[in-house]
Structure 1
Amino acid sequence: MTSKKQNTFNQALIQFLDNSPTPFHAVKNMASRLEAHGFIQLDESQTWSLEEGGRYYVTRNDSSIVAFTRGQLELGFRMTGAHTDSPCLKLKPKPELHRHQYLQLGVEVYGGALLNPWFDRDLSLAGRVHYLTTSGQLASGLIDYQRAIAIIPSLAIHLDREANKNRTVNPQKHIPPILSQLGKDEKADVRTLLKERLVEEGFEDVAEVLEFDLSFYDTQGASIIGLNNEFITSARLDNLLSCFVGLESLIQSADQSDASTVLVCNDHEEVGSQSAVGAQGPMLQSILERICETPEQFRRAMTQTVMISTDNAHGIHPNYADKHDGNHGPIINQGTVIKINANQRYATNDETAALFRWLCQQEKAECQHFTVRTDMGCGSTIGPITAGELGIKTLDIGLPTFGMHSIRETCGIKDAYELSNILKRFFELKAFPY
């Protein structure tokens, strides 16, 4: 039996997922939600005048965001982090392919995408476009076709009888989506098509499209499924799920926190985080230093700071249970997962794990553990990067998920709402219990 609050939370999550096909759209939607709850956008090029109890946020590249409340600086920061990007297919700069009277667009694989599920899906296109205005100025805008405009058809099994045994995907040859049919000598120009789309979306001063950052996405919306409605399926659960959970926790705790609270959602985690707006860049440290009034105050605040890195965790798949360590197979809808790796691929240690288990006990919530099989490699998150950059206590957690990095992933209806309450309690901690 689910509560009314949990149902409301999940419906808002589904709406956020559907409205955020790219990191640009996700940050725009998060900023709108923050502003509706009294958060003020700051300009990094201007002098800041922060008030105790104030609510603020900063964006970079329109794809990364840091939101915070300014509390008592001697108490340090309560921080949670996630990432806005997901594996996808990004349009190449000169993408037009005219083959056999079909218009296809060349794409580059972004991140560690599971490619097979991209075939035979109804795809749309969204992202940011930079253009020249009719008055000669540079400008940019977000676009989203919203409807299915492309498909990557599979090769029929009649033409590849071994497809179910050994078919592999060549990303250069096999994944350019088909958008339309053309006349025998007809050619299409993507920048002309994008100019038309900008005008359709209300940008009336477009003279010429210059550059773009556009991604294909699956048009099938997020859903609650299962015989007893146990699961949520959607694209981009990794990691918009954590972005939404962190956002709601920050907003709900804003009036209850004595310490400064921070939500950081970085772009480019799926490709290593080394960018101006990634976790390995200077964005977070720069903002924290500006919240503090002196370098000494910043260094002292870091000693009282804890970061919870929230990303997805691999739920044990009943068809592939041998891919998990026998004692560490997280179950969907049975609690947040504490992620541990002895080789520091996750930032969790015994101290930060104990803190999180204590928080779960306070909320009467379950938690689980994940560590990779000893004979398998381990992924990583923004947790170790942030810990290494700032020297702060950090732990990695996640919600159990099926199909991570697929075009469609699966999580549980209970886990996200439960984690939001745990993080809210974390944000409201005046002092740590040790």
Structure 2
Amino acid sequence: MTKDDFNEGLLGFLDASPTPFHATQNMAGMFENAGFVKLSEVEKWSLKKGERYYVTRNDSSIIAFTYPGSKEYVIVGAHTDSPNLKLKPNPVIKEHGVVKFGVEPYGGVLLNTWFDRDLSLAGRVSYLDAKNIIKDALIDAQKPIAIIPSLAIHLDREVNEKKSVNAQTDITPILSTSEEFSFELFLKEQLKSSGVDDAVELYANELSFYDTQKASFVGLNSEFIASARIDNLLSCYVGMLSICSIGEDKPMLFIASDHEEVGSESTSGAGGSFLESTLKRMFGDFEEYTQMIRSSMLISADNAHAIHPNFPSKHDSNHAPLINKGSVVKVNANQRYASNSKTISRFMNVASSINEPIQNFVTRSDMGCGSTIGPITASRLGIETLDVGLPTFAMHSIRELCGSDDAYSLYKIILGFND
């Protein structure tokens, strides 16, 4: 696969995955096309050596794995969720001549980037069908249906000097001027567009707004990729393609978990049992399971803060990653990242053997450090772990920026672990 093919597929994946539900659905489709066999957590598993499998949880987390009989697995972990504005259960607000939707920020949203963007709505809806069965369906309006207009500078003369955003009052998207708007009818229309014609009663929903602007190349020589949800669908795409590119005889597992942006403490998050229970079903004997855990390695793949050319003081100058200069090994003395000298050395060895560049990131000692699924999974399983990221600008913005070389480089390194 060439870098151009890789990146074109990446842009398509980003555009087609406005929510974790859609990302998981798209990855499941990719695994189906690659010959992976679908498993269900509520059914008995009868795994066969030489096969490839995948399983989902909550429609928003997914695991794919090969099953060659080896215990020395390379596990790649990422997350499907991104900061966004989530619809509240009773969202409709009709006032001042418009219809608005009440929203709640999900994760560490960079709120000021959500103003004046063409927004659409997507996610999961639960409903009662004509046979009295509760079902779920994914919807995606796929067109701009809302906007959050900025307040004119004439009414806020100090906005360029000091700007704060009230999450309750300032970021309610505007949809319409029609007083006849019905949220129930709107949802039923969206369900019909998704092929659901027998929704008798609507129940709960998990819907998120997203920016309709497509992912694109940016720069004089297309050096950058700009898109929503680069954190962390970029790593999801790398992990997905990596496991689809190796043979059935190579021991590899890929997991993309939900809810990382809010702490991972959920049934489908890295703090839940999804990965552990899957591995225990793969290796039913406790001795074999323990041997596999201690013989394997987790590559926790998330984004990394590239040094911002307009704000260089925000970085430690000796640990300031550059865009398009390679994957970033993330280190933190207080275990906010799980990398250690052993896992770093193994990653460096593989990267060096195929002439792929790597960089290092350590946050400034006088600034707080974020974390990833790495320490969470390492603590739960006891598996040796490396935290690695791809350099990014504008993390948690509605439109993030990464390099057009780096993800392809990490993809090649991961494949190098299986050579």
TM-score scaled to structure 1, two decimals?
0.95
Matched, 1:145 2:138: no
Decide which moves more: 187-196 or 268-277.
187-196
Q: 2:44 aligned with 1:47, yes or no?
A: yes
Measured in 2, the distance between the counterparts of 1:101 and 1:198 equals 27
Q: Matched residues in 1 for 2:244 and 2:384: separation?
A: 23
- Aligned to 1:94, what secondary structure does the other structure show? strand
Equivalent AA in structure 1 for residue 198 of structure 2: D
- The amino acid of 1:130's aligned partner reads S
Checking the alignment, whether the CA contact within 8 Å between 1:87 and 1:111 is kept in structure 2 is yes
Moved over 4 A (4+): none
Q: Is the 8 A contact 1:191 1:210 kept in 2?
A: no
Q: Which residue of 1 aligns with 2:286?
A: 295
- Partner of residue 385, structure 2: 394
1:203 aligned residue? 196
* Matched-pair contact (CA < 8 Å) for 1:58–1:66: yes
Name the Cα RMSD after superposition.
1.0
Identify which of 88, 98, 110 aligns with 1:114.
110
Name the aligned partner's letter for residue 128 of structure 1: R
Check the 8 A contact 1:98/1:187 in 2, yes or no: no
1:133 equivalent in structure 2: 129
2:66 match:
69
Alignment of 1:144-183 (within 5 A): 144-182=140-178
Kindly state the Cα deviation for residue 50 of structure 1 after the two structures are TM-superposed: 0.7
The percentage of aligned residue pairs carrying the same residue is 54
Match of 1:85 among 65, 72, 81: 81
Cα deviation for residue 100 of structure 1 reads: 1.0
* Structure 1 residues 103-132: Cα deviation after superposition (integer angstroms, max 9, x where no partner): 000000000000001000000000000011
Structure 1 counterpart of 2:273, which letter? P
Q: In the superposition, relative to structure 1, how do residues 44 and 286 fare at CA in structure 2: closer, same or farther (>3 Å)? A: same
Give 2:345's aligned amino acid.
A
| Aligned amino acid, residue 244 of structure 2 | I
Q: Give 1:253 shift.
A: 1.1
Give the partner amino acid of 2:412: N
Q: 2:353 & 2:143 partners in 1: Cα distance?
A: 45
Q: Which residue of 2 aligns with 1:432?
A: none
Aligned to 2:93: 97
Query: Quick check: 1:404 aligned with 2:404?
Result: no
Question: How far apart in 1 are the matches of 2:284 and 2:259?
Answer: 30
Select the residue among 231, 237, 240 that pairs with 2:230: 237
Indicate the residue corresponding to 1:226 in structure 2: 219
C-alpha distance in 2, partners of 1:70/1:167? Answer: 54
Q: CA deviation at 1:197?
A: 1.4
What is the distance in 2 between the residues matched to 1:390 and 1:100? 54
Number of the residue aligned with 2:345: 354
Matching of residue 191 in structure 1 with residue 184 in structure 2: yes
In the alignment, structure 1 segments of 5+ residues that lack a partner are: 430-434
Where 1:96 maps in the other structure, the secondary structure is: strand
**Cα distance, 1:173 vs. partner?**
0.4
Q: TM-score if structure 2 supplies the norm length?
A: 0.99
- The equivalent position to 1:216 in structure 2, one of 204, 209, 227, is 209
Q: 2:14 aligns with which of 7, 12, 17?
A: 17
Deviations 1:161-186 (A, max 9, x none): 0000112100000001000002xxx3
Q: Is this contact kept in 2: 1:96–1:188, CA < 8 A?
A: no
Report the number of matched residues. 419
Shift of 1:53: 1.4
Amino acid at match of 1:375: D
